[in-house]
Amino acid sequence: MYSGIAISYRDSTRSFAQKTLLPRVTDSFRNERFDKSVYKEMGDLGILGPTISGYGCPGASYVAYGLIASELERVDSAYRSAYSVQSSLVMHPINIFGTEYQKSKWLPGLAKGDIIGCFGLTEPDHGSDPAGMETSARKDTTGNWVLNGSKLWITSSPIADVAIVWAKDVSTKKVRGFIVDTKLPGVSCPSIEGKFSLRASITGGIVLEDVVVSEKESLLPLVEGMKGPFSCLNSARLGIAFGVMGAARACIEQARMYTLDRHQFNKPIAANQFIQKKLSDALTEISLGELAAFRACQLRDEGMLHSNVISMIKRNNCGKALAIARECRDMLGGNGIIDEYHVIRHMLNLEAVNTYEGTHDIHALIIGRSITGLSAF
């Protein structure tokens, strides 16, 4: 079903994820710690920015991108999030909307994992309605841009070297994208502590206080309006749709092993009809979700994918993966809440993945608008 190149990326990522990431994920989740060396390890593997050609990027395909995401999320959503943000939310806009100077400056380092990026769209008061953003950009008398505002729930911001920041031009009221070096005066990236989901990922905010950036260095000149951030999100959502199926598959594999080993009433609990029905339902939904994600990535490679389809598979696959994780946790009984069995960690992660980059309900409204022609926002 998959091309030889895509299978090669899948297999190399699976080996890396199982041998390198899985042994340390439990400790990272328990202690709410992300090892930034993961970016360099992904860079060494050659999987960052897989759909980009040149600048040290693989130039593979969206199918390869999805398969990589699935193998990373099979270990933990945190690692897939780091991969998706770097590849789709940071490298993608620079490649599509940036100048040759900006691409040459940033993409090689991002591809190697030597530079860590983050994506600043969500704000404290604007999540599902990003067009209402309050972060502002204005030109000063020297022709530079001055940025003010704050972003929240930003993956990797506390450790990021560069941020893609979306702000509203005060003169035109149109949204513009900026490449912002996080070491600039006026930029701070505080961490969010106490999460019960994605604990192996570092999350924070971006605070911009009279941050001065030059047009040549910072402004992404080839896009304005919400088309820019939505293009990035749609790319990342393909990774999510494929990735969550990896998490669901990890859960069903654990549940299968556990129910075969666990004996009650003198037989494996896997012999129970209820258990077999739950496993059958889960495997069916995973198979359908993987097929839908594969076809969507295939259409994206062919330039034929509509954004409504992306909303559909992101919504469906996230919701189904979360439901599967909950069922698998139940099949493990009391042991289902212990992190050494991994299922509870996937379940908690998927609670967040079901919400970010478009909530379950918001994507339903996007699909509903495409069906009826009427906006319910």
Residue 150 CA to residue 211 CA, distance in Å, equals 12
| pLDDT of amino acid 128 | 84
Q: Are 338 and 310 in contact (CB under 8 A)?
A: no
Q: Is pLDDT at 90 greater than 70 in this prediction?
A: yes
CA distances from 295 to 129, 239, 250, 367, 372 (A): 29, 13, 22, 18, 25
CB 17 within 8 Å of CB 72: yes
pLDDT recorded at residue 267: 97
pLDDT digits (tens, 9 = 90+) for 280-303: 999 999 999 999 999 999 999 999
* 6 band by pLDDT with thresholds 50, 70 and 90: very high
Look at residue 127 in the predicted model and tell me its pLDDT. 82
Task: Extract the runs of DSSP E, i.e. beta strands, from 55-174.
Answer: 57-58, 117-120, 136-139, 145-155, 162-169
Which of 48, 191, 190 lies closest to 110 in space, CA to CA? 48
> Locate tokens 């495997």: which residue?
283
Residue 85: closest CA among 166, 177, 157: 157
Span 260-276, average pLDDT: 97
Q: Which sequence positions are flagged as catalytic?
A: 357
Predicted confidence (pLDDT) at residue 1 exceeds the cutoff of 70: no
State the DSSP string of 164-196. EEEEEETTT--EEEEEEETTSTTEE-PBP---S
- Rounded Cα gap, residues 271 and 342, in angstroms: 23
Quickly state the pLDDT bin for 377 (edges 50, 70, 90): confident
Instruction: Domains for the chain: give ranges and CATH numbers.
Output: 4-116 (1.10.540.10), 118-218 (2.40.110.10), 227-372 (1.20.140.10)
For 27-75, how does the pLDDT look when each residue is reduced to its tens digit (9 = 90+)?
999 999 999 999 999 999 999 999 999 999 999 999 999 999 999 999 9
> For the residues 78-91, what does the mean pLDDT come to?
98
pLDDT at residue 3 greater than cutoff 80: no
Cα 127 to Cα 60, 165, 227: the distances in Å are 32, 15, 16
Q: How does pLDDT run across 198-230, given as a tens digit for each residue?
A: 999 999 999 999 999 999 999 999 999 999 999
Contact 214, 291 (CB under 8 A): no
Structure tokens at 169: 């031009």
Cα of first residue to Cα of last residue in the chain, in angstroms, is 39
pLDDT at 177 over 90: yes
What would the pLDDT profile of 298-307 be if each residue is shown by its tens digit? 999 999 999 9
CA distances in angstroms from 303 to 46, 238, 246, 274, 298, listed in the order given: 24, 14, 25, 43, 9
Angle at 158 between CA 234 and CA 31, to 5 degrees: 100
Whole-number pLDDT of residue 198: 97
Q: What is the pLDDT of residue 4?
A: 85
Of 347, 314, 39, 14, the residue nearest 201 (C-alpha): 39
For 113-131, what is each residue's pLDDT tens digit?
999 999 999 999 988 888 8
What pLDDT sits at residue 129? 82
The average confidence (pLDDT) of the chain is 96
The bridge status of strand 203-213 relative to strand 187-188 is: antiparallel
* 309-334 pLDDT, tens digit each: 999 999 999 999 999 999 999 999 99
CA 61-63-67 angle, to 5 degrees, is 120
